[in-house]
Amino acid sequence: MQMRPVTCLRMRGALRVRGRFLVALVTLLVVPVFSPLRAQSPTPDTIFVGKFLTLDRSHPQAEAVAVSGGRIVAVGSRSDVEALANKSTRRITISGVALPGFADAHIHVAGVGGELERLNLRGLTKAEILAKVAEAVRSAPPGGWISGGGWDEGFWQPAVFPTARELDAISGDHPVVLSRIDGHSTWVNSKVLALAKISRDTPDPDGGLIRRNAAHEPTGMLVDNAQELIRRVTPKPTHADQERRIRAALQQLTRWGLTSVHDAGVDLDTIAIYKDLLKRGELPVRVYAMADGEAAITHYLASGPEPDLGNGMLAVRSFKLFLDGALGSRGAEMTEAYKDAPGEHGLQLMNDADLERIVRAARQKGFQVNTHAIGDRAVTRALDAFEKGGVTKGERFRVEHASIVTNGDLLRFARLGIIASIQPVFVGEYSRWAEDRVGPSRVRWVLRTRDLLNAGATLASGSDYPASDSGTPIATLHGLVTRQSAAGKPEAGWYNDQRVDVDQALRMMTAGPAFAAFQEKDLGALTVGRYADFTVVSANPYQVPSNDLRTLTIRMTVVAGRVTYDARQDQTTARR
């Protein structure tokens, strides 16, 4: 049975001519009647009652949703849906407006957990950062490591990269490691340089850069693969550390209203943690894991994809590859040199031959390939490799970030069926320094959301957190609609001709990631047969003024009919 609106026709001045009726004036009134949509299924175990925006174009609203075995078995009016219940059916009333579950198509889960344990340097001036490090030094054990992340020189005056000497003045005998917001460069003190034996004679590694002063001495800034030079001396997290961080991150994601995430680059140890959590029934968010690194890719090429573990809670069917670095660190691979560094074109982290080899191997084994490509040259190379490799639309290969796209490449996304996996919250960072990096002509190629849509490309949105200003889907929604940062800057929006409307934004946050993960039959809308994943927000996004979207709050998160976050319980706990 389908949910059908009742259509009433009010006819005025009808004229009868040759046995046929002409309607001179018709006023069409549509009154929604929510007859439930049913599947052949058992009596629902749970019924949720409230206001639902389904993102199903044929039946956009509902008053109730019935769930059995984690899937939706009815959507419709409260009375019709509740008529399906029996004595054992639970009833949950939602406070707010429910939408299909928010998804993040590109996030780093362990990184979110790690962020909760180290110094958060987001939005701080250099003086504030140094004060925070000095405070950590005072409370640290002798020789203890100080770590932090999220700094962005775009907040500083002048906006230039920092040096080891600035940290040396406050760090004493403590090694200090502070990653930039993009995760593609690290600021260290001289103690770390000495421990890692990085000197003026140390060569730049392939795909990496040791920034140096006029005397060729390392300044304390390590870009992309140069960060690997300090890996052997920095404390390595244990398996228990990693599991603790992942657990903490997953709980944070539920509080943000996320029901599924695409973890953009995980090793075999992290995948094992996810499998253990799934086995114990302790995975509160769906995870689409992108295998990263030689060991993980080699393992999965031998064993094959794992597309659906635990009723859609975990999937491993894609590879994450890095073609270049980040724009803020000047590691993004550019065809023409950076405007603020005329001798630099960025870094190539993978050559064309290796990329094409992995594309061929992945296709043979049924894996999707998701390439990190930020600079225009890297984006072009990714599209070239996919086209040369004969990638079909059904394989849904992806370009992660696609931050700088030339006019010539816009239409290729649609023609080749390549998904643009974008991060709308990057508007905060890019508005601070992108024009300095690429100049006034190329800046129009940066974060081309509207242009990609108009070209017919499929878009999936994410946050790249913690390599961005914010990981909340509310910030993503706000950024898509206003072209403002999570803090509401700039007020007029950054190149606001690239804005999209609320409906397009919500679909990029729900249906887009579902399609990008081959999950569109199970996720992305609230319809019978799909998983009962939804996010409850404080107000109807379609009715909230654009500039106020960032004030929306998360009231509830539901995955497979199970409440993973309830703001009411949080408030009760806080009052105790």
Query: 37 and 1, same structural domain?
Result: yes
Whole-number Å distance between alpha carbons of 211 and 204: 9
Is the separation of the CB atoms in 246 and 237 below 8 Å? no
Left if phi > 0, otherwise alpha if psi is -120 to 50, otherwise beta: which for 69?
A: left
Residue range 335-384, pLDDT digits in tens: 999 999 999 999 999 999 999 999 999 999 999 999 999 999 999 999 99
Asked whether residue 167 is assigned to any structural domain, the reply reads yes
562-566/554-559 β-pairing: antiparallel
Of 197, 230, 263, the one marking the end of a domain is 230
Q: Which residues of 301-317 are buried (b: 16+ CB within 10 A; e: fewer)?
A: beeebebebbebbbbbb
What separation in angstroms does the CA of 27 have from each of 59, 480, 517? 21, 36, 44
Whole-number Å distance between alpha carbons of 438 and 445: 10
185-188/218-224 β-pairing: antiparallel
Kindly state the tokens that stand for 412.
């290729």
Which residues are paired to 30 by β-bridges? 7
Kindly state the tokens that stand for 427.
């508007």
pLDDT of res. 569 = 87
pLDDT of res. 37 = 54
The model's confidence at residue 571, banded by pLDDT at 50, 70 and 90, is: low
Asked whether residue 321 is assigned to any structural domain, the reply reads no
Is the separation of the CB atoms in 216 and 200 below 8 Å? yes
Query: 125 and 224, same structural domain?
Result: yes
Of 230, 258, 289, the one marking the end of a domain is 230
Asked whether residue 88 is assigned to any structural domain, the reply reads yes
Average pLDDT in the chain: 92
DSSP secondary structure string for all residues of 480-537: HHH---TT--STT-TTGGG---HHHHHHHHTHHHHHHTT-TTTSSS--TTSB--EEEE
Residues 210-230, mean pLDDT to the nearest whole number: 97
Query: 116 and 207, same structural domain?
Result: yes
Query: 125 and 68, same structural domain?
Result: no
Query: 220 and 170, same structural domain?
Result: yes
The model's confidence at residue 327, banded by pLDDT at 50, 70 and 90, is: very high
Query: 204 and 146, same structural domain?
Result: yes
Is the separation of the CB atoms in 91 and 79 below 8 Å? no
DSSP secondary structure string for all residues of 381-440: HHHHHHHHTT--GGG--EEEE--B--HHHHHHHHHHT-EEEE-TTHHHHHHHHHHHHHHH
The model's confidence at residue 204, banded by pLDDT at 50, 70 and 90, is: very high
pLDDT of res. 470 = 96
Query: 148 and 61, same structural domain?
Result: no
Whole-number Å distance between alpha carbons of 519 and 522: 5
Q: Which of 466, 49, 435 is nearest to 256 (CA)?
A: 466
Whole-number Å distance between alpha carbons of 89 and 163: 62
Residue range 503-537, pLDDT digits in tens: 999 999 999 999 999 999 999 999 999 999 999 99
Asked whether residue 141 is assigned to any structural domain, the reply reads yes
Query: 116 and 208, same structural domain?
Result: yes
Work out the burial of residue 245: count CB atoms within 10 Å of its CB; fewer than 13 is exposed, 13-18 middle, 19 or more buried: buried
Whole-number Å distance between alpha carbons of 556 and 564: 8
Q: How many domains in the chain?
A: 2
Asked whether residue 500 is assigned to any structural domain, the reply reads no
**Which strand (E) or helix (H) includes residue 371?**
strand 368-373
Amino acid at 244: R
Query: 82 and 14, same structural domain?
Result: yes
pLDDT of res. 301 = 98
Asked whether residue 343 is assigned to any structural domain, the reply reads no
Residue with tokens 């190539």: 348
Residue range 34-84, pLDDT digits in tens: 555 554 457 999 999 999 999 999 999 999 999 999 999 999 999 999 999
Asked whether residue 511 is assigned to any structural domain, the reply reads no
Please state the length of the chain: 576
Question: Domain range holding 36?
Answer: 1-101+526-576
DSSP-derived secondary structure letter, 443:
G
Query: 94 and 178, same structural domain?
Result: no
Query: 29 and 73, same structural domain?
Result: yes
Amino acid at 237: P
Instruction: List the CATH number of the domain containing 15.
Output: 2.30.40.10
Q: Which of 150, 112, 111 is nearest to 133 (CA)?
A: 150
pLDDT of res. 35 = 53
Instruction: List the CATH number of the domain containing 132.
Output: 3.10.310.70
Of 215, 230, 245, the one marking the end of a domain is 230
**Which strand (E) or helix (H) includes residue 212?**
strand 208-212
Whole-number Å distance between alpha carbons of 38 and 72: 9
Claim: this prediction has a pTM higher than 0.85 = yes
Whole-number Å distance between alpha carbons of 332 and 376: 8
Q: Which residue has the higher pLDDT, 160 or 12?
A: 160
Residue range 437-467, pLDDT digits in tens: 999 999 999 999 999 999 999 999 999 999 9
Query: 218 and 139, same structural domain?
Result: yes
Kindly state the tokens that stand for 145.
């490591």
Asked whether residue 214 is assigned to any structural domain, the reply reads yes
